[in-house]
Each structure stands twice: as structure tokens, then as C-alpha cells.
Structure 1
Amino acid sequence: ADLGSMDLKVEMMAGGTQITPLNDNVTIFCNIFYSQPLNITSMGITWFWKSLTFDKEVKVFEFFGDHQEAFRPGAIVSPWRLKSGDASLRLPGIQLEEAGEYRCEVVVTPLKAQGTVQLEVVASPASRLLLDQVGMKENEDKYMCESSGFYPEAINITWEKQTQKFPHPIEISEDVITGPTIKNMDGTFNVTSCLKLNSSQEDPGTVYQCVVRHASLHTPLRSNFTLTAARHSLSETEKTDNFSAAAHHHHHH
């Protein structure tokens, strides 16, 4: 065959970035475009990874002829998918520290092609509401919205309220204190935002919402409670899967 007519190209995820949830079985895409039918016994695939912290490239997986080797446990490129030009790398149980640049190198002798992609690993926050009435003055409650287990560190927590008079949510700016972000052992983060309420000045039936926005979430995570006439009861009906309410009752003697 005339070498000029032989063309080998590699295509990765458009935009050069792939985002995956922590612990997911991720498939890092790599497609081979070749002017001839592929013969997998005469081609080679090598996947490399460069971490964000160390600028050193390591081999993750290699395949050539009938030999394949995973340098990262569980790493695999499917030989039968390779026949149709799919050299995607599958990594089970991806971890935060495995983020970085992945390079797919394809050799179909005498040609060589490669592509790179940035892999970002994210973890979604879990959110729960707590009511703290310990040491609070009469009619003053402190509601806490605890977000935990998220990555990366940047997060945005706001509070909104909806009254029966104004059903449209209004953002609450005063009496909100968001604490420092705390790093967990596994590299994820936690943060708590507090809302102080003077229940005597609020209308019963007002719905309060803690709204969490994070890179890992397609839509904001919302946890809510309703102020009832009998004060400080977190309404049971408002509970959702990602929201557990704990009411600590403080008895006056």
C-alpha cells in the first residue's frame, strides 16, 4: 500500500476533559481512525497517566499482539472493541488521586498517533439539616445545613425562604454564617452553614431551604423545613432521601 494513503488518527473526548464521579467505573474514550481495516495482532495500544501533583508520566495499560498488561489494577482495553477501533480504557472504582492527564498512544506499524484528555474526579455532597437549640435565647433557633463528602473544595451554600404571601423564593442574606471547609481523611470535604431565626418574627408556614451548588451536581441540592405554629419542629413530610432532620429539644426548667 502507498504510505501516503494510509492515515491514522486518534480521537478523545471533545473539549479535552472528562468528568467522572468518585468510585465510578470510568471509561476513558479513545477512538482510532484508520484508512485500512484494523488487524489487532499487528497493532499496539499504550495508555499513560500524568498526575496533577507530580509531573511524571506512568504507564497504566499496554496491549500489543496477544499480550496485554495492566499496571493499574483492573485497567482494561477490550480486544474485541479494539477490532472496531475503540481503544477506550476502563478503570474500575476511580479514586480522587487518579485525576490528571491520560494519553492514548496507538501504533499501527509504521504509523503512530496519540491523543490526551484531562480526567476530573468529583464527589457529590450529601446534605442534612439539624436544629440546634442548645444555649439559644427564647424564640431564637439555629438551623444548620451540613454538606459532606464533596470534591473539589469549591461549594456554594445559600438559604432561601418562601412565605405564603410571597411564594417566590427569596434569598436570605443576613444571619447566615458558613463555617470553614474541613478536609476528610479520604480527600473529600465537609462544610456547615448556619441560619439564625427568630421564630416569633416569622410567619408560620414559611418554608426555608438550604441550597447547595457544586461542580458534581447537575441541579442544586435542596433541603427544606417548614416553620409551624408550634415552634421548632422540622416537618417530617419534608424529608427526602438526602435529607435527615434531627431536632434537639431544649427543655427550660
Structure 2
Amino acid sequence: MTLTPSAAETTVPTSTPPLRLKGIHKSFGGVVAIKTFDLEVQAGEIVALVGDNGAGKSTLVKIISGLYQPTEGEIWLNGEQVSFRDASDARAKGVEVVYQDLALVEDQPVYMNMFLGRELTKGPLRLLDRKAMARQTQELVDTLDVRIPSAKATLSDLSGGQRQGVAICRATHWASGLVLMDEPTAALGVAETAKVEEVILKLKARGAAVLIVSHNMDQVFRIADRVTVLRRGTQVATRTLADTSHNELVAMITGLAS
């Protein structure tokens, strides 16, 4: 699956949202983690998911990515209702997540991390096709302008921001129009956060739907189109960023909204 700049430039939003959540409810025994959650994320849109610790943000990401199954509710991907047995089942259907801890292999080159668990092979002996993997990886990092020395560079030689860029590229390569991000810049400094945000905005420009969990309100206002707020498992509100303010979001997160 080779992604080229020309193909990326022709990607346009469609009327069918890459992600639709309808009536999602999750309980663990007698503990309700998410009461009722509804959301659509359109192609070419960034939606931020915000809330305090324990609000249910990561639980929701785990439901979408197949780690948890919802107790009730529906998940729709690109107009098709889906039900995941586990995370590998979700990945097979094009659901990819970028986590804060990256889940990359330090002593492997960038291109091997891009194809981790999905390596390309060639010939009857199914030898690793390193050349093809390196070429496809370089094409994608160039398209998203992830500034790394080379697709053949060892991951451990890269900065934190560059590694996060690689993780985003990997998710983009395998996703079917939707990329989930769970606090992707939480461990980064200001300069590297800015670089990662540039990559995220390039995903939007390519027509990807992005759902990002973030605790950084400034970041939410910099990159998101809409924001949805969770508080103690309850979806408080969904707003366009043009129709809300920093103070209103904080008030909804903390429960002080009038």
C-alpha cells in the first residue's frame, strides 16, 4: 500500500463519516465508566476529546480500538456497523491508535517500525523486502513532512518528537481514514509538540478523520475543529471551537458550568 503525494492531494471528505458512535455505554460490573456517548468524526476533521482524569477518555479510545467491547451502543466505520473481538480485529478493519508511549522498537530502523508485525516479503522463501518497506516509509514521511534523517535511521537515534512523528506515520499508513490519538504530545516539550501538531494538521489536510485525547487546552484550540467533553463518564457537550472558550471548556470539565 503505497501512499503518494498526488494521491493524498486528491483525498476529499465524503458524506459518510469515517467514525460514528451511537449510544456507547460501558460498565465494569456495577461501575459505569461511560453512560451514553454519541459522536461523529468527519473526514478532514480533528475532534478533541477532553476531560479530567478518570472521565472515561481512555476507556472510549479502548472501545473504538477493540481493547474493550461496549456494554451497549454501536460503532460505525465508513458507513458500516462493526463489532470488534479484540484489538487485532479492529486493526484489521483499519483502526489505528497513536499512544503517548509509542509502542515502537528502539533498536530497529524507522521502516521496520512502520511495518512492525506486517512486514513485506518477497520470493518463495518470503524474505523481508527491506527495499520496498524503506521506499514506502520514505514516501510517507516525506508527504507528511516528518523531519527524520532517513527511513533507514535507527529509531533510538531520533528525538521524542521525531519518534512520535513516526508513530503517526505508521497509524496513517494502515488506517482506513481514521486515526485515534491518546495524549500523543504529553511527554514532549514545546518545540517538539509544535512539530507533531504540524503533522497532525497535515493528516487533516489529507482528508483523515482524527480523534485526539488531549489535556492541553491551548493545543485543543490550536488544532481541533470541534471538542467533546467527558466528565465522570457523562458526555457534557460537543462544541465547535469557534463557539466556545477556554473558560467554558474548563467549567464543563470541572463541573462548574452554569
**Same fold at TM > 0.5:** no
Q: TM-score interval w.r.t. the shorter chain?
A: under 0.3
Higher Rg of the two aligned structures: 1
> Which one scores higher on RCO, CA 8 angstroms, separation ≥ 6?
2
What TM-score results when the alignment is normalised by the length of structure 2? Answer: 0.26
What TM-score results when the alignment is normalised by the length of structure 1? Answer: 0.27
Greater fraction of residues in strand: 1
